[in-house]
A and B are shown apart, each in its own frame.
Chain A
Amino acid sequence: MYSFDPTEEQQMLIEAVNKYAANDLRPAARDAEESGELPQKIIAKGWELGLLQASIPETYGGFGERSAVTGALAVEEMAFGDLAGALAVTTPSLFATPILLMGSEEQKREYLPRIVEGEWSPYTAALIEYAFDFDPNDLKTTATLEDGRYSLNGEKAFVPFAKEAQALLVYANLDGQTQAFIVAKEAEGLSISEEREKLMGVNALPLYRVQLTNVKIPAANRLGGESGCAFEQLLASMRIANAAAAVGVANAAFEYSRDYAKEREAFGVKIAQKQAIAFMLAEMRTEIEAVRLLMWEAAWELDTGREDAVKDAYLVSTGAADMAMMVTDRAVQILGGHGYIRDHPVEMWMRNGRGFATFTGLAII
Chain B
Amino acid sequence: MPIEFEAPKPITNAQFVLKTVAEEMMRPNSRYFDEHEHEIPWNYIEFMHSAMKAMGGNSLAPREPAPSSPPPEDERHGGDGGKRPPIGYQLIAAQMEALSWGDVGLYHCLPGGGLGAAAVHAAGSPEQREKFLARFHGDKPTFAAMCITEAGAGSDNSAIRTRATLDEKTKEWVINGEKIFVTGGDKSFTEYEKLGRGFIVVWASIDPAAGRAGMRAFVVEGGTPGVRVVKLEHKMGIRVSDTAAISLVDARVPFENILGSPTVDQNPTGFKKAMATFDATRPLVAATGVGVARAAFEFLKERLAEREIHVRYGLPRQKLTSIERDVIDMEIMLKSAWLMVIKAVWMADNKKPNALEASMSKVRSGDICTKITQKVVEMLGPLGYSREFLAEKWMRDAKITDIYEGTGQINRLVVARQILGYSGAELR
Contact = CB atoms under 8 A, between A and B. Distances in A.
B56 interface: no
Contact of A281 (B84, B316, B420): B420
B296 interface: no
A103 to B, nearest CB: 24
A262 to B, nearest CB: 6
A2 B415 contact: no
Contacts of A297: 5, 335, 339
B318 A132 contact: yes
A293 B335 CA distance: 9
B3 A3 contact: yes
A69 B3 contact: yes
Interface stretch (B43-51, B162-170, B260-268, B340-348): B340-348
B340 A283 contact: no
Given A2-B6, A279-B416, A314 B313 contact: yes
Q: Chain A: interface secondary structure?
A: helix
Contacts of B84: 1
Size category of the binding interface on chain B = 35 or more
B335 A315 contact: yes
Contacts of B126: none
A19 B328 CA distance: 36
B3 A283 contact: no
B5 A281 contact: no
Contact of A282 (B328, B340, B419): B419
A35 interface: no
Given A1-B6, A3-B2, A318-B328, A262 B420 contact: yes
Contacts of A134: 316
A133 B364 contact: no
Interface in B80-105: 84-85, 87, 90
Contacts of A282: 360, 363, 412-413, 415-416, 419
Interface string A255-282: 0001001100000000011010011011
A192 to B, nearest CB: 25
Q: Chain B: interface secondary structure?
A: helix
Contacts of A294: 332, 335-336, 339
Contact of B422 (A1, A137, A273): A273
B3 A275 contact: no
Interface residues of A, number: 47
Interface string B1-14: 11111111000000
Contacts of B318: 132-133
Contacts of B339: 290, 293-294, 297
B413 A133 contact: no
B72 to A, nearest CB: 19
Contact of B336 (A5, A6, A291): A291
Interface in A1-33: 1-7, 10
A248 interface: no
B331 interface: yes
A285 B4 contact: no
A266 to B, nearest CB: 15
A59 interface: no
Residue among B5, B316, B412, B419 with the highest chain A CB neighbour number at 10 A: B5
Interface in A294-313: 294, 296-297, 300-301, 304, 310-312
A319 B332 contact: yes
A290 B313 contact: no
A279 B417 CA distance: 10
Given A1-B84, A137-B315, A278-B420, 7 more contacts: A7-B2, A261-B420, A278-B413, A282-B413, A296-B3, A300-B4, A301-B5
16 contacts: A1-B84, A2-B346, A3-B1, A4-B347, A7-B2, A10-B3, A133-B318, A258-B420, A275-B413, A281-B416, A286-B363, A286-B415, A290-B337, A290-B364, A294-B339, A322-B329
Q: Which 7 interchain pairs have the tightest Cβ spacing?
A: A290-B336, A278-B416, A3-B1, A293-B339, A282-B415, A319-B332, A133-B318
